[in-house]
Structure 1
Amino acid sequence: MSGRLEGKVAVVTGAASGIGRASALLFAREGARVVAFDRAEGVHETAEAVRAGGGRAVARTGDAGSEDDIAALVAAAGAEFGALHLFFANAGITGGVRGGFFDASPDDWAEVLRVNLIGPFLAVKHAAPAIRGAGGGAIACTASVAGLRSGAGPAQYSASKAGVINLVQTAAQQLAGTGVRINAVLPGLTETGMTRPLYDSARAAGKEGRIGQLNPLLRGGEPEEIAAAALFLLSDEASYVNGQALAVDGGLSSSHPTSRPPGDPNRPSS
């Protein structure tokens, strides 16, 4: 443990599994006291895993898109650990819409936007004053490379994540002079609870090796890799990084879709 978050109190939403759980565990190893939050009961297992590793953590259940729940979460961090310095607004959903663009209903869109975009807004609204009161700190939000352009997720999900990128940029300006930084981490394809059906389907079809083949690293990401990026953005190592969107996607967003030229030694076989 290098102690990059020593003495800090950090909230992580969506902490029952995937990126959120990996982040809670990593932040604790780096010295933070962690408040793990999720609507799923698995968040208690995350807190227990932190404690089993010698860290300090409590778990809270609730809805990341509910203002009452987020306000209570920020208050709980202060009541439990005396302050709040860091907030990782990671919770998100795809919406589970089957079919294409025209199959989604306004209700489908509304629910995805409520959790994925209004949720981070509520995190900023309620966490920023508490963080400022503790002497400053940082907020990170999970967006997605799907928020950069079409092709990496359903329309309603992609639009919500594009909104998160702009929210971070806008909030950075609104928080000028407060001592609170805010940035977004943009995962590419990463194996989490959200993407597990895709991974399971590929494995069942014997095509696991094709997962992530569109990015230059030719593989999918791991939750721990996204957690490491979030750790950087929340740590003092990123003290001059503000209002930015950091893609962690194996290089997927570095190019528009194209085919590799014949003879490229790194070209995957068909």
Structure 2
Amino acid sequence: MGRLSGKSVIITGAGSGIGRAASLLFAAEGAKLVIADKFDTAEETARQVREAGGTVVALVGDAGEEAFVAGLVDRAVAEHGVLDAIWANAGISGGAVPREDQDAAHWAEVLRVNLIGPFLAVKHASRVMVPRGQGSIVMTASVAGIRSGAGGLPYSASKAGVINLAQTAANDLYGTGVRVNAICPGLIETGMTKPIFDGARARGNEAKIGQLNPLTRYGVPSEIAHAGLFLASDDASYVNGQAIAVDGGLSSSHPVVRRR
């Protein structure tokens, strides 16, 4: 019996990176999945899940659009009868746009995907979870939302919003049995962080990637997926309204000069 045996789960941003790792892990733990991505890479993830013996439906769409998110929830219920958990993982970095070149439209797009998208997951997942008196909503935030130094202005602000959303939504759902939590990844090698890794490797500095955290290394998507598995499962039945950093200890310290 897996930790998600028989549970119906939605994962957005499932076409690569953390979302793909989570899809494979959750399926291996017995979840029946509806996965989504803005790109058709979601189907490649679904293929891998099926080859491993999992149950999955893949959809292509924008996790920041309300009609699509509502449809994801409806599809999960239609396919599997219930919705036990949703991981609002889809996000964008906003790119390395200098402050002076950022405009309201740029900010609005980052906030739409990174913050409004998770809100829509809360809104539509809760409408089917609340009547059952149970459910887990997981959202991907970032250490960039905890303090400065891990992302650009709009990205960091959007992820700070996700952290606050986890807290406020958990309390908005007071007494319903529905839990809401966020994960704050540190430096993880994904498509979003590819420019960082490519640049370091081109300079011959790969060994220095992640050196600022106490584990002195970067993370991989499966390490975030395991944190999500915990929050989605009954193992986290008393964890609610939290933003859990999975960052090798990066966010535990103020900047210091290392003496060794």
Normalized against structure 1, the TM-score is what? 0.94
Deviation of the 1:102 alpha carbon = 2.8
The aligned residue for residue 112 of structure 2 is: 114
* 2:251 matches 1:246: no
| AA aligned opposite 1:243 | G
Structure 1 distance, partners of 2:256, 2:162, is 27
The aligned residue for residue 80 of structure 2 is: 81
1:21-100 superposed matches below 5 A: 21-99=20-98
Structure 2 distance, partners of 1:202, 1:97, is 16
1:1-270 superposed matches below 5 A: 3-99=2-98, 101-261=99-259, 267=260
The aligned residue for residue 264 of structure 1 is: none
Q: Deviations over 1:158-197 (max 9, x none)?
A: 0000000000100000111111101000000000110011
| AA aligned opposite 1:192 | T
How many residue pairs get aligned? The number is 260
Of all paired residues, the percent bearing the same amino acid is 63
Q: Deviations over 1:36-80 (max 9, x none)?
A: 111110000111111100110110111011001101111111111
Structure 2 distance, partners of 1:151, 1:97, is 13
Structure 1 distance, partners of 2:96, 2:210, is 22
3-state SS of paired residue (2:3)? coil
Structure 2 portions without partners, runs of 5+: none
Aligned-residue CA RMSD (Å): 1.0
Structure 1 distance, partners of 2:183, 2:101, is 29
Deviation of the 1:132 alpha carbon = 2.5
Structure 2 distance, partners of 1:164, 1:14, is 16
Q: Bigger CA drift: 118-127 or 76-85?
A: 76-85
Structure 1 distance, partners of 2:15, 2:8, is 18
- Contact (CA 8 Å) 1:226, 1:248: kept in 2 or not? yes
Structure 1 portions without partners, runs of 5+: 262-266
Structure 2 distance, partners of 1:102, 1:211, is 28
Deviation of the 1:142 alpha carbon = 0.2
3-state SS of paired residue (1:259)? coil
Structure 2 distance, partners of 1:189, 1:183, is 20
Deviation of the 1:204 alpha carbon = 1.5
Q: Deviations over 1:83-137 (max 9, x none)?
A: 11100000000112423x3331111110000000000000000011112334511
3-state SS of paired residue (1:206)? coil
Deviation of the 1:6 alpha carbon = 0.6
| AA aligned opposite 2:73 | V
| AA aligned opposite 1:173 | N
Structure 2 distance, partners of 1:164, 1:102, is 25
3-state SS of paired residue (2:106)? helix
